[in-house]
A and B are shown apart, each in its own frame.
Chain A
Amino acid sequence: MFLQIHTLVSYPASLLNRDDAGLAKRIPFGNATRLRISSQCLKRHWRDSLQENLPDIPDGLRTRHFFTRVVLPRVVAAGIPEDSARRLIETLANTVITGGMKELDMSQPVLFGAREADYLVRLIQDAVAAQPDNPLEALKKRLSDKSEKENLKAMSKSATGLTGALFGRFVTSDLLARVDAPVHVAHAMTVHAANTEMDYFTVVDDLSSDEETGAAHANQAELGAGVFYGYVVVDLPLFISNLTGCNRTEWKNQETQLPKRVLESLIHIIASKSPGAKLGSTAPYSRAETVLLEVGREQPRTLANAFLEAIPMKNHLVRQATACMRDYLNRMDGMYGRTSDVRTLATIHETVDFGISPSSLDEAIQSALEAIWS
């Protein structure tokens, strides 16, 4: 099950994302070169905003029931009696959770995903295998080992976490500890040809006397305005698995409150957060004028090809781009059959008829979330 997010947003003269020469990033696309915003740049800004928008979900927390509902059943399934399993998990949890814990269902949510669960279950299985008559001793011995101590400390700190659960984690060569990103972000690009200007500027030296000429500093920056098409797809089973530690096939059976809040926040941020630099000199703050959400099972695909022919620079570009997107979607549906199950739309260009009634962004998000968990 996938959630696809398409946006059209217009930025005034700005320099949103630069290359190593300080020029605006570009991409050749269709019949013209376009302005581009890289996915790294977009994700960086979204990640920061997420943490601001969801302050009660400190980065790295999800469920209070990680040890009782994820780890315990797996240890019991591995043939270890429940009494013994509980004692072993208690010892392990007290080592892993900074400051220890009173009971297994914690008052505070913790921070681990599926990869951490795999490893903790294995530590317990290893202890049972090493000393079947006294696994607790074997486990304590393992936990007091210096490298293991440091390792578990690093695990606590790396914690899949909120942004890790969304954007992935790849900090070591260890495949077994790797968390794949369920949020795939395309580079955003303009729906028209790149149109920029070198903005020459000087810094006047206020203390120069009349006979002294020249500025304190002279430089130039490349400024460009543009209507950007942005595309993001969320792999929902993996997202929930990262967030709760469950197997990806079990994603529908997890509690929905937290994932819904995170997705809601993510879509809001995608629609409104500027990836901009040069904030003081260009104020690059804009909101998406069109947001199309799609929920479905078929292979996610970008609608970028709606803009292969660069839109000519006249009339209202965002309205034209919205219409282009609608026409392209209709043609793709005509060729392949309907390519997503549910679509919701928020746009200020209501004259463009998608065959879906446009609503507020909040309503569009809520309907899409309902479709995901229906």
Chain B
Amino acid sequence: MACLLLRFDAPIMSFGGVCVDQINPSDTFPGKAMITGLIGNALGWDHRDTDRLDGLQDRLRIAARWDAEPQRLIDYHTVFLGQDHLVGTGWTTRGRTEGRGSGQATSGTHIRYRHYLANGVLTAAITVLGDDIPTLENIEQALKYPARPLFLGRKTCIPSEPILVGRRHAAHLIDVLRAEPLADIGPRRRPQVVTARWPADDGGGYQPEAVYDRRDWGANMPRGVHHYFTGPMEMMP
């Protein structure tokens, strides 16, 4: 099986976890929705290309490992909702406005806690099932010359290096990560044991975990699950 090896090296990155109220946590590994958005962005798609995004997400398989262990960074962030450009501006293409409703959280200063993973370096192996478009070649090309700037979860998370490392071949995604030497991480923290997350159908783990890493792009909300193994990964000698 052919796949693409990606490297996420950025001061901060964020892998959109389950958001509750004003807390926007990050998952510990990139999920299908995040990588789908990343590739869609590289291909020049936008939020309206919901069918293509859904299609790509269905075909996508991801495994990832941390070469430098990240630390959680929680960014405190406020928005004053009374700013002129935020009041009375909620037009929609549905022919009616969309307001904020009523209640305490709809006016005044809104507080958010955005979680990031700081100072980490992650290596991922991705592939797409089937021969539909975009093919792995299309994706490879788009990552090399992206239509838009690429970012790792949020627009402020801009990578330090080209994301695309190159093409690899193996029976399973996890085998690619086992065989790939750890990245040069400079003075960052090398984990004692390298941790990885990989699709449960690749086998080799103990307890599969349900990860809610898919998005319903048309409805614009998270929906759908994939099963993964998470745990220590033995590198091939």
CA distance A59 to B83 in the complex (A): 13
CA distance A302 to B10 in the complex (A): 8
* Interchain CB contact under 8 A, A30 and B97: no
Residues of B within 8 A of A336 (CB): 162
Annotate A268-308 by CB proximity to B: 1 below 8 A, 0 otherwise: 00000000000000000000000000000111111111001
Assuming the contacts A180-B47, A187-B11, A187-B156, asked whether A297 and B92 have C-beta atoms less than 8 A apart, the reply is no
CA distance A145 to B9 in the complex (A): 52
> Which A1-43 residues have C-beta < 8 A from chain B?
2, 19-20, 25, 27-31, 38-40
CA distance A294 to B210 in the complex (A): 43
CB-nearest residue of chain B to A39: B156
> Which of A40, A147, A304 contacts B95, CB < 8 Å?
A147
A356 CB within 8 Å of chain B: no
CA distance A189 to B118 in the complex (A): 12
Interface-lining segment among A73-81, A171-179, A365-373: A171-179
CA distance A148 to B95 in the complex (A): 5
Interface-lining segment among A129-137, A157-165, A218-226: A157-165
CA distance A290 to B73 in the complex (A): 28
CB-nearest residue of chain A to B86: A171
A228 CB within 8 Å of chain B: no
* Interchain CB contact under 8 A, B156 and A28: no
Assuming the contacts A29-B119, A180-B46, asked whether A301 and B97 have C-beta atoms less than 8 A apart, the reply is no
A46 CB within 8 Å of chain B: no
> Which B156-191 residues have C-beta < 8 A from chain A?
156-164, 186-188
CA distance A26 to B18 in the complex (A): 25
* Interchain CB contact under 8 A, A184 and B158: yes
> Which of A19, A148, A300, A303 contacts B149, CB < 8 Å?
A300
Annotate B128-146 by CB proximity to A: 1 below 8 A, 0 otherwise: 0000000000000001111
Residues of B within 8 A of A118 (CB): 93
The size class of the interface chain B forms with chain A is 35 or more
Interface-lining segment among A197-205, A230-238, A317-325, A347-355: A230-238
* Interchain CB contact under 8 A, B144 and A152: no
B106 CB within 8 Å of chain A: no
B71 CB within 8 Å of chain A: yes
State the Cβ distance, A312 to closest chain B Cβ, in Å.
13
State the Cβ distance, B139 to closest chain A Cβ, in Å.
13
Closest 6 CB pairs of A and B: A158-B89, A31-B187, A147-B96, A155-B91, A154-B91, A174-B92
**Known A158-B90, A304-B11; further 20 A-B contacts with Cβ < 8 A:** A30-B187, A30-B188, A145-B95, A154-B88, A155-B91, A157-B89, A171-B89, A173-B220, A174-B98, A175-B50, A180-B47, A184-B149, A187-B12, A187-B75, A233-B149, A299-B163, A299-B164, A301-B160, A309-B186, A336-B162
6 contacts between A and B (CB under 8 A): A151-B97, A154-B97, A186-B157, A186-B158, A308-B186, A336-B162
